[in-house]
Chain A
Amino acid sequence: MSEILLEIEGLEKSFPGVHALKRVRLQVRKGEVHALMGENGAGKSTLIKVLTGIYQKNSGTIRFDGEEINARTPIEANEKGISTIYQELNLIPFQTVYENLFLGREPLSRCRRIDRQKMISETQRILNDLGVSIDVTRPLGHYSTAIQQMVAIARTVSINAKLVIMDEPTSSLDAKEVQILFRIIRQLKKQGISVIFISHKLDEIFEICDRLTILKDGEYVGDYDIREMNQLRLVSLMVGRDMAKLERSKQEYRFSNAKPIAELKNIHQGMRLHGIDLEIRQGEVVGLAGLLGSGRTEIAQILFGSTMPDDGEIFWWGEKVHIHSPSDAIRKGMGFCTEDRKTEGIIPHLSVRENITIALLPKLQSFGFIKTKEQNDIVQSYIKRLKIKTPSPEQAICNLSGGNQQKVLLARWMCMNPKLMILDEPTRGIDVGAKAEIENLIRELSKSGISVLMISSEIAELERNCDRIIVIRDGKVTGELTGVEISQDTIMETIAKNGREEVTEHD
């Protein structure tokens, strides 16, 4: 056994009204990748925030590298050797790569001038060690999220971090970029740096992690070697309930005769879409499968009017229509839960009540006054129906967990009585329990005759919920699977097979 780098014992943290961490323990050894697992609200982020000095603990001990520490600010934690890579990258996009690496500790040469040559060569060396070769004098914002993340990691390496915490680092990366990230994590391991890895994607945990600690409702469940664990056991430890609920519910394809509600014909848009044909029938759940950047989100945006197609036609109930803006689409009866809840979905400081009814307001008013009673009735019924966990409808939505925020957004569109719901990554960053509930809702929508267009990077999720799956690759439809044909294997095969054909064509 290698020696222990971080040891947390009996950690307690409570906020007014919430006991967030109860006697939590965590042990991370030198040079290991340690997964921190748990549903949303299990206390993972609170634990991380206490560790990195954003929150102060109530009691308990944190021993790091042989000494007891109690960081009061993130900067203090940094100095001790604990670095964090956040979901939202904490870098400055307008500044160059090398500036981002050295900000806050710029090397000075004669006359207190900052030494740019030294920064550039050091940055190149550090990035080369990590296997990334880019022009470091370009602004960081010119590179993809994956590269920006590499730069963030390089920054932590260059300040001699002993422990790097990665909070959902893969949530905005595609499969190829994830592999690059993993290569770098392995590199860190070789250098004896420990990593705490937080992710909701189980496959990734099994691929990269050595050990894992499970938290549930703020309590320590246990820590395990990854080799004595399998996916089913891990999930049941996390949620404490049977996994059978998350199996494929659909069998036969029942919609061959259903009326088409929306059709896209030969849609072209910029560099992203090259002739998309797509049909959605009444009451069916259509999945869009494909890699990140294949054009999935762009299709949804065209349908919802937030992007204009360069060429092509859109039909709604068989009639040709022009959708110029989201408000056009809403009037026709569409709802769109966007991929990015934080920036395009919730209005953080408004209450749950206001967030649910904000799109409905035009119908909820008479002479400019809101019909308060009707509004409250609607809000109450959806909170009950969707099992939204909130102390009251007046709670600000930013205080809810990710899963509950997503339910509020679903409620926002459902109370509009839509004909078609577009869900872009509806379960991203949501714990397994809430995921099952949202998937149940999708089924209910479909039963009541509402069509659903679902975009997801998780193939298993598409398999469980969709009646029909359209595979997109490089802005073209490259395959379609219906009913019993749908399985994770066939979906992946379809994505992969078309890729190979593409290559031979180009040869």
Chain B
Amino acid sequence: MKLLKQAYHSLYSRSTILAFLLLVIFASFIFQDKNFLTANNIFNILLKAAKNGGFLALGMTFVILCAEIDLSVGAVFALSGVVMGLAGAYNPWLGIVSGLVVGLISGLMIGFMVTKMRISSWIASLAMLFALRGVIQIIAKKSVVIEGDILTFAKAKILPEVIPGMTSGISILIPLLFIMTFLCMYVSHHTRFGMQIYAVGGNCEAARMMGINVDRIKISAFVCCGLIAALSGILLASSSGSATLSAGNTYETYAIAMCAIGGVKLTGGEGKFSGTFFGILIYFIINTIFTYLPTSISVHWQSIIMGALVLISVAVQSEIFGRIQFHRKKAGKTI
């Protein structure tokens, strides 16, 4: 019984999981003839998630949990790839490190502006977004080609011929996405930093009064977000063999959407990384379903439908949570 109870509480994002399951069933029924639930298709969806902003949503979750926002992740994503390509021409290891440094510096700067200069994170990260996009144009005039064994490490594939239908193996990006998710979950649940992030986002003033160094937590969250975005940019550039200047354009909005679908509240302090992970999956499953639909549904319609889906999923979740909390409060009243 106790175990059951714990399991129930740990599924804070249970409505997200429910929505995810519904979606899978729905999709597998409708597109039975298209073989929706084949290994090939599933790994394609996961690969899309790992390449196009799945990591960004994980990083963004750190920041949103603190009740802040980071709009610069798309630009960091692009710049880190470009920087890796340019610096990697001299020394591959220098390339990888300097790519990550892009994320570190961006995160530190936004964190500093938000905590020490009291600038809203919307403005601080928006400024950073413009600045970084400018830097990209200055340091590289066209796409940077990425060569060499070390720099193209993300092209590697694992488990060849183990999974039916996947003769050449699975891209290494997929297990990396899982590892990153588990790492984030571990940090959020089992470390001081993780627990204090929730406190800062839940009630910043209270956290300060409890002796938590609020500024340090917020800066760390921005740094985590920046680093993960940079890592993601490096992985994409490395796996595709070139870093394009416009990579990651508007990805920050997708990352926020994935967090929102995953039940991470933009008011801070509520939400889980497991939720974000399901948010990522839901987002890319829907994205894939669009490719099955008749071509008459153009890209523009896709965008509109996606927007509606984000709204609906968030509305449904807040409705469900609202009701649950109402009943509990009443129950608690009688001590």
Contact = CB atoms under 8 A, between A and B. Distances in A.
13 contacts: A89-B206, A91-B203, A92-B207, A94-B198, A99-B199, A103-B212, A104-B207, A138-B9, A142-B329, A142-B332, A144-B329, A144-B335, A271-B330
Given A90-B209, A93-B202, A103 B332 contact: no
A321 interface: no
Interface stretch (B187-195, B223-231, B297-305): B187-195
Interface stretch (A105-113, A201-209, A464-472): A105-113
B196 interface: yes
Interface in A68-114: 74-75, 78, 89-95, 99, 103-106, 108, 112-114
Contacts of B328: 138, 142
B149 interface: no
Contact of A114 (B192, B207, B269, B270): B192
**6 nearest interchain CB pairs?**
A92-B202, A90-B206, A104-B210, A104-B211, A142-B328, A143-B332
Contacts of A260: none
A180 B334 CA distance: 12
Given A142-B328, A144-B333, A147-B332, A103 B190 contact: no
Contact of B192 (A106, A146, A271): A106
Given A92-B199, A112-B191, A114-B190, A105 B333 contact: no
Q: Which of B195, B205, B325, B330 has the most CB of A within 10 A?
A: B195
Contacts of A91: 203, 206
Given A94-B198, A146-B335, A147-B335, 12 more contacts: A90-B210, A92-B203, A95-B195, A99-B199, A104-B210, A113-B191, A114-B190, A134-B332, A144-B329, A144-B333, A147-B332, A180-B335
B213 to A, nearest CB: 9
B190 A113 contact: yes
A99 B212 CA distance: 13
A134 B332 CA distance: 9
Nearest to B198: A95
B94 to A, nearest CB: 31
Contacts of A143: 329, 332
Nearest to B209: A90
Contacts of A99: 195, 198-199
A137 interface: yes
Interface of B: 6, 9, 190-192, 195-196, 198-199, 202-203, 205-207, 209-212, 269-270, 325, 328-330, 332-333, 335
A291 B195 CA distance: 38
Interface in A34-84: 74-75, 78
A179 to B, nearest CB: 11
B203 A93 contact: yes
B142 to A, nearest CB: 46
Which size class do A's interface residues fall under? Answer: 20 to 34
B195 A106 contact: yes
A126 to B, nearest CB: 16
A114 B270 CA distance: 19
A141 B269 contact: no
B202 A94 contact: yes
A268 to B, nearest CB: 17
A141 B331 CA distance: 12
A146 B334 CA distance: 10
A103 B210 contact: yes
B269 A94 contact: yes
A93 B199 CA distance: 9
Q: Which of A91, A95, A144 has the most CB of B within 10 A?
A: A95
Contacts of A112: 191-192
A499 interface: no
Contact of B202 (A75, A95, A104, A137): A95
B211 A90 contact: no
Interface in A242-291: 271
Nearest to B200: A92
Contacts of A137: 6, 9
B190 A95 contact: no
Contact of B325 (A104, A141, A293): A141
B68 to A, nearest CB: 16
Contacts of A94: 198, 202, 269-270
Nearest to A137: B9
A114 B195 contact: yes
Contacts of A106: 192, 195
B203 A105 contact: no
A74 B212 CA distance: 12
Contacts of B205: 90
Nearest to A54: B209
Contact of A104 (B212, B270, B333): B212
A289 B212 CA distance: 43
Contact of B211 (A78, A93, A180): A78
A91 B9 CA distance: 20
A106 B328 CA distance: 27
Contacts of B195: 95, 99, 103, 106, 114
Contacts of B269: 92, 94-95
A105 B332 contact: no
A146 B9 CA distance: 23
A78 B325 CA distance: 32
A142 B325 contact: yes
A89 to B, nearest CB: 8
B207 A105 contact: no
Q: Which of A92, A134, A143 has the most CB of B within 10 A?
A: A92
B322 to A, nearest CB: 12
Given A141-B325, A147-B335, A92 B206 contact: yes
A92 to B, nearest CB: 4
A106 B330 CA distance: 30
Contacts of B198: 92, 94-95, 99
A75 B191 contact: no
Contacts of A90: 203, 205-206, 209-210
Contact of A108 (B192, B202, B325): B192
A365 B270 CA distance: 44
A400 B210 CA distance: 28
Nearest to B211: A104
Interface in A125-158: 134, 137-138, 141-144, 146-147
B105 to A, nearest CB: 26
Interface string A145-184: 0110000000000000000000000000000010010000
A92 B195 CA distance: 11
A195 B207 CA distance: 23
Nearest to A146: B335
A43 B46 CA distance: 63
A147 B333 CA distance: 8
A93 B212 CA distance: 16
Nearest to A180: B335
A293 B329 CA distance: 12
A241 to B, nearest CB: 38
